[in-house]
Structures are given as structure tokens and as C-alpha cells.
Amino acid sequence: MTAMLPYGRQSIVEDDVAAVAEVLRGDWLTTGPQVQAFEDDLAGWTGGVGCAVVSNGTAALHTAYAAAGVGPGDEVVVPPMTFVATASSAVALGAKVVFADVEEETFTLDPAAAAAAVTSRTRVVSAVDYAGHPADYDALRQSLAGSDALLLADAAHSIGATYHGRPVGSLADLTTFSFFPTKNLTTAEGGAVAATDPAVLERARRFRNIGLVRDRAEQRWPDEGGWHQEVHEFGLNYRLPDVLCALGRSQLRRLGDFLAARERLVRRYDEALADLPGVLLPARRSGARPAWHLYPIRVLDGRRREVYDRMRAAGIGVQVNYIPVHWHPAFADLGYRRGSCPVAESFYEQQLSLPLYPGLTDPDQERVVDALAAALRGVPVRSAA
């Protein structure tokens, strides 16, 4: 029986296991020295922009929006081609989500659509680095001219990517990362918020820790003793424990190798699929170096479902990323309608992610290519059995 190839997979080595085991044998399992050390290590990939680590990627978005002051009456502009949490975490704070369409080719937030969506109530404009490709942040900055809105980069796919030589993490006012197992590095579950404004970063750190204020200089009431702490604004427990930060630090030391492996696999896909009829390959914007979390092809002529089913039956774990957010029933119940973002919706109807992860072998990648070609020809695909 040939194993099912997943579309993404973590890479764990003995150094990762040893890093976790060392913390398990120590005194700290929750918030301890590995947390600050992981945040410092992450700043080495964000151009020195400070980071706050949190329990997962959705928590990172929720924390970032809270740190930006998002609340009832505010609007948050979001592209629909993303995981639902980019929008739902803003709704959880009482904001209204305004969907803006994506660009052709890279399927990241269209600066013109973003500019048209911004109003006096806009608190945040959230770009998504779809598939690991940085959005056009220079143009997005221009689209916010005259607005007080903050620019957020949902970089769940793109840690380690660069845009005109500048690293993701330094391109927007706020940046969020995810360290889920299929991402470019993992802490099992985990995420982080980067903020260029130290005051916003401090609000993020406080929000992830229940809102607790321990600094006596900032406390409002007389000191009750060494245990004294206060909550001035509500937060949540989104802390990432020491044991997982140790795993993240170990993974981060291999991020450069992970990115290089993904880039090599993308080149091989590009070469193998260049002349295959019935599909379009992912594009790159000039000046961008993607992190390639996904390899998203477009299957033409209305055949995406057919090709998906054939490849899955052959043991190839293709995936679709993503159902447009405004199509989810929770948003439909709020009055959002299909047809409002035609570029994203058209892309969704064609999109198919091929397996891509550092441990994908050349023979396995060739198996993916052969299965795709057979599925497009409409001939039986070799079974996984």
C-alpha cells in the first residue's frame, strides 16, 4: 500500500526533540525564559521588529486586532481569499468586516479594491500573503493615504519571505504568523504578532496575558503586596508555553533550509508542469521572494472537482485553499453575498494546492506530476494501493 501524500507536513528532527526534552526536565513549562528567547529569535527574521508569541495563528490575529484598538463600530478590510480567521477574529471584537477583492496572478489584496473599501470607520486593512507571496505593501500604503487605518499583514504563509529586499514582519504596522504543523516552521500550535510601534506591541503582550498589569508604575490602586496585579482592559490567555517555544527556536534555526527546499520543489513543479494543458501555474510579482507555503495551480474548464477527486483516489493529498470567506454561512447570515469579489471567487473555482513540504522527495513529487497529468487526460490514475 502506497502511503497518502499530504499537501503539507511538519519536519521534526532529533534536535527538535532534544530541545523540547530539555525544557521538560527544567523548571518552566509555561511562561519562562524560552518565550523571550523565541521572540528575540523571531525578530532576527522580521528586520528587528519586536514580536509577541501566542498560542496559535487565530490568537495572533485576535491579539493584533485588539492591540490595534478594533472594537464595535470599526471596520476591518479583508480579502476573501484566506482562512476564515482573518475575518472572524475581527468580528469577535465587534467590528464589521468589509471584503475587498484580490489581484489577478498573485491573489493577494488588490490595493485599488482596498482603497475603495476604506472609510472613516476603517481601523485596520488586512492583507494576506497568499501561498507565501507577499502582498504589494508599497501600493497598499498608498491606498491608505489620508486614513488613520493600520496596515496588517496576515503572514501565516510567509515567514522568511521578502519584498524588495525587506523581510515580512517589517512591511506592515502589524504582522501575524502561524506555526501550525503545515506551515513553514512549527511549534505544533502557535503564532506570533509583530508590531513596528512598541506601544502597540505592549498592548499585544498584555492582551495575550489576560490584560494583567504587573508594573507598579502603571497600576491604579495602592500596592497590596508582592502578589498585586491589575486588569485595566480585558484580555485572554493566549500564552505560548516554554516547551513549545523551545521547539520553535529549534525549528527557526532550520527556516533557511526549509525555505530553500520549498523553493527548489517549486522550481521542479514549474519545469515539470510548464507545458501541461489545462492548468495555470502560480505567478510571482517582481521584487518579491515568496516563502512558498503552498503551490496553488488553477485547473481550467470547470474540471477542478474532477481532478481533485481523481488525485485523492490515487493517494495524492491535494487541497483547496480556500472557500471565499464571505461564502461561509456565518457571513451569509450577516448579509454578505456571493458575487461581490469576482476575482477571488473565480480563482476559488479553479484553485488546487499540490503537495509541498521540505520532506517531499523527488520520486514523490514525480508521482504528483504523473497523477495530475493522468487526471487531466481523463484516464485512470494509478491507485495508491
Amino acid symbol at 240: L
Q: Measured between alpha carbons, how far is residue 206 from residues 24, 81, 106, 354 in Å?
A: 26, 30, 35, 39
Taking the C-alpha atoms of residue 34 and residue 41, their distance in angstroms, rounded to an integer, is 10
Amino acid symbol at 196: T
Cα atoms in the 13 Å half-sphere on the side-chain side of 84: 12
Partnered with residue 177 across adjacent β-strands are 192
Q: Which of 123, 133, 183, 326 is catalytic?
A: 183
Tell me whether the omega of the peptide bond preceding residue 322 falls within 30 degrees of 0, making it cis. Answer: yes
Taking the C-alpha atoms of residue 173 and residue 151, their distance in angstroms, rounded to an integer, is 5
**Residue 104 DSSP one-character state:** T
Partnered with residue 163 across adjacent β-strands are 166, 288
Q: Measured between alpha carbons, how far is residue 258 from residues 124, 232, 243, 292 in Å?
A: 31, 42, 22, 10
Q: What are the cell numbers at 344?
A: 477571488
- Collapse the DSSP code of 126 into the 3-class scheme (helix H, G, I; strand E, B; otherwise coil) and give the result: strand
Taking the C-alpha atoms of residue 347 and residue 45, their distance in angstroms, rounded to an integer, is 31
**Residue 94 DSSP one-character state:** T
Active site residue 183: yes
Active site members: 183
